[in-house]
Amino acid sequence: MMHSTLGVEKVAGATGWMHHVIEFCRLFRMPDFFLISGLFLANVIDRDWRTYFDRKVVHFAYFYILWVAIQFALKKTVFVAELGWQGTAFAYLRAFWQPFGTLWFIYMLPIFFTIAKLARDRNVPWQVVMGFGVVLEIAHAAGIPPFSSGLVLVDEFAARFVYFYTDYIAAAHVFRFAAWAMANVPKALSALLAWGFANGVLVAMGYATLPVVSLALGATGACAVILFSALLSRLSFADVLRFAGQNSIVIYLAFFLPMGLSRALLLKFAPFLDLGTVALLVALAGLIGPVIAFLAVRGTRFDFLFKRPGWAYTCRAKPALQPAE
């Protein structure tokens, strides 16, 4: 939604109502992503290193390398026009130490998984690791060097690790919280409304990005998403959302293509639509398009786009639901 909205606004040279929506979500969208990524870590963190490395490092490395190449191939005309062939080649190589575009979080996840495993194996107290993460997040929000350096690895590690690790430690509490929401719908809805009001006010007043405040809003926003998701699971269309969740990496990898195509088409052929509506439609295309592509290639020779092939495993045993792990 953020990429879709900002992309539409950049091309149009103006902002629409969706800009306010992404600002509202700004403080919790990536914390929640990493928080959920750590949610099921307790189930696998005690695996032997070879299996763990295959599932949590090689898995994401395969998709990162593949989709960086795909993005560069699709955008080579633009890159060459701006950077020349030599500059384009350097930009491609640079993507392996400075994560590229929309794929940066796939680059970061193996690093988070590895550090969590190392801390576990070396019996580092979780309070120490958690405190380390809190200090890093506050330092990044305050713009303290080197934690706000422009280097994706440094900045995003500082800003996001605490959320990833928190849900690994607090997974049991998170599931109890979700169960409470499903059993107490009126109270859960009231809590969501109260949070939404407070989050909106702090964002509107410009306080949301302040040190400590950003940490609090990231954590409470993640809790709100858990409440919202738990309530959604009670609805009849939950299976559709569940399918998307189980195959979430499909959307993360490929949304850029339907997003770019739909943006170009809508801005050219639907000038009667306001920018907010265009951004919303582009975001929906970015969600639905990859799922259609995933279903279209499943079981074909192009399956490798979204499912790691056998040769890319370092362990013989293949887990169920590997694309979503």
What would the pLDDT profile of 221-236 be if each residue is shown by its tens digit?
989 999 999 999 888 8
Residue 318 lies inside a defined structural domain of this protein: yes
* DSSP state letter for 13: T
Give pLDDT tens digits for 160-191.
999 999 989 999 999 999 999 999 999 999 99
322 and 308 in contact (C-beta within 8 Å)?
yes
88 and 235 in contact (C-beta within 8 Å)?
no
**Measured distance between the N- and C-terminal CA atoms of the chain, rounded to whole angstroms:** 23
Averaged over 42-52, what is the pLDDT? 92
Computed from CA positions of residues 91, 96, 97, 101, in that sequence, does the dihedral angle turn out positive or negative?
A: positive
Distance separating alpha carbons of residues 290 and 56, to the nearest angstrom:
23
pLDDT at 70: 95
In percent, how much of the chain has pLDDT > 70?
97
pLDDT at 119: 96
CA 206 vs CA 5, 24, 53, 254, 263: distances in Å: 20, 11, 42, 33, 30
Give pLDDT tens digits for 284-309.
999 999 999 999 999 999 999 999 99
Q: How far does Cα 66 stand from its chain's mean position?
A: 18
Write the burial class of residue 51 (CB in 10 Å: 0-12 exposed, 13-18 middle, 19+ buried). Answer: middle
pTM for this entry: 0.89
The count of structural domains within the chain is: 1
pLDDT at 306: 95
Residue 249 lies inside a defined structural domain of this protein: yes
pLDDT at residue 319 tops 90: no
Residue 203 lies inside a defined structural domain of this protein: no
Averaged over 71-97, what is the pLDDT? 91
Residue 285 lies inside a defined structural domain of this protein: yes
pLDDT at 316: 66
Average pLDDT over all residues of the chain: 92
Task: Count Cβ atoms below 10 Å from residue 315 Cβ, excluding itself.
Answer: 15
Distance separating alpha carbons of residues 50 and 55, to the nearest angstrom:
9
Distance separating alpha carbons of residues 245 and 230, to the nearest angstrom:
13
pLDDT at 323: 47
Residue 272 lies inside a defined structural domain of this protein: yes
Alpha helices by DSSP H, 15-75: 18-25, 29-39, 49-53, 59-74
pLDDT at residue 320 tops 60: no
pLDDT at residue 324 tops 60: no
Per-residue pLDDT band at 42 (split at 50, 70, 90) = confident
Give pLDDT tens digits for 241-278.
889 888 899 999 999 999 999 999 999 999 999 999 99
The whole domain housing 27 covers 1-39+243-325
Please identify which residue in the block is written with the tokens 């006010």: 201
